[in-house]
Amino acid sequence: MPLASPTADHPLVLVGAGKMGSALLAGWLDGGLDPKAVVVVDPSPPRDSASLLAEAGIAAHAVPPPGVEARVVVLAVKPQIMAEALPGLRSVVGRGTTVLSIAAGTTLASLEAGLGPAAIVRSIPNTPAQVGRGITAAVANPRVDAEGKALVDRLLAAVGEVVWVTDEAMIDAVTAVSGSGPAYVFLLTECLADAAVELGLSPAIAARLARATVEGAGELMHRSDLSPAELRRNVTSPGGTTAAALAILMAEDSMAALMKEAVAAARRRSKELSG
């Protein structure tokens, strides 16, 4: 990692080494971050994370060790314990520290209230980060300088794509689209498999067909420069089988309307949870 990266003297302090925290840590270590530049704070890391830490020779601390001033603090605990965890982290946050939160529904204002004046980035990753294929949206408070932003961008890029928004209100929309979005795709897969069973296919074959179709279509989209609409048109011959299905899915008040309604409900819930 280039200059101003975490070092043993000014480490990356990861608070919470659960599913998301350890996915990020695995990405950083793969990307060349020195394990000596990492301090983990988690009173009881789950078994998978504990083996990652043991392999890298990183100890897990119940509370931040004394005398540490972090280059970057990554907050990866559940939102409901954030308020309780923040005051204990003030000791590691100095003038040269950037704080990165990945907690859903935890606003910049509440992070500032818990930590005091600090350079803070609030972000929303999604679960494909666990396989290095996530997308994270981030918003920074005015204390974050260009260097802090670049560092956070590099850290988040270790597990996928990164987009920055300037208006924190957009984080609720992001949560509804990419944060919750993987569940919509999993549901689509379930619905396709159920429909296949209705047509007489065995549940095992139906599940394989649906799963491989969604995986393959996702990978095709990933590797292609074409838009999703172009890719869709490419598999749709006029008067053919796909066109017959799409006539139902693309009818008025059908899939597009349902998706808009679903995403609006997720955004409403995100606002309620962070309110």
| Residue number, 77 or 152, with CB nearest to ligand NAP | 77
- How far apart are alpha carbons 15 and 208 in whole angstroms? 38
Q: What is the DSSP string of 119-155?
A: EEEEEE--GGGGGT-EEEEEEE-TT--HHHHHHHHHH
Answer whether 255's CB lies under 8 Å from 153's CB.
Answer: no
Q: How many CA atoms lie within 13 A of 272 on its CB side?
A: 7
Q: Which stretch binds ligand NAP (CB under 6 A): 51-59, 120-128, 155-163, 206-214?
A: 120-128
Paired tokens of 13: 């302090």
Answer whether 152's CB lies under 8 Å from 105's CB.
Answer: no
| Residue number, 81 or 247, with CB nearest to ligand NAP | 81
CB of 75 to ligand NAP, least distance (A): 7
User: Is residue 18 involved in binding ligand NAP (CB under 6 A)?
Assistant: yes
User: Is residue 176 involved in binding ligand NAP (CB under 6 A)?
Assistant: no
- Candidates 35, 79, 96, 132; binder of ligand NAP (CB under 6 A) is 79
Interface pattern 127-166 for ligand NAP (x via CB under 6 A): x---------------------------------------
User: Is residue 91 involved in binding ligand NAP (CB under 6 A)?
Assistant: no
- How far apart are alpha carbons 259 and 184 in whole angstroms? 9
Q: Which stretch binds ligand NAP (CB under 6 A): 11-19, 146-154, 219-227, 248-256?
A: 11-19
User: Is residue 76 involved in binding ligand NAP (CB under 6 A)?
Assistant: yes
| Residue number, 184 or 236, with CB nearest to ligand NAP | 184
User: Is residue 107 involved in binding ligand NAP (CB under 6 A)?
Assistant: no
- How far apart are alpha carbons 178 and 56 in whole angstroms? 31
Q: Which stretch binds ligand NAP (CB under 6 A): 71-79, 144-152, 190-198, 225-233?
A: 71-79
Residues near 138 by Cβ (< 8 Å), separated by ≥ 6?
100, 121, 122, 123, 124, 152, 153, 156, 162, 163, 164, 165
CB of 20 to ligand NAP, least distance (A): 3
Residues in binding contact with ligand NAP, number by CB under 6 A: 27
Answer whether 71's CB lies under 8 Å from 96's CB.
Answer: yes
- Candidates 17, 38, 137, 210; binder of ligand NAP (CB under 6 A) is 17
Paired tokens of 21: 């925290």
Task: Write out the residues near ligand NAP by the rule CB under 6 A.
Answer: 15-21, 41-46, 76-79, 81, 85, 102-104, 124-127, 179
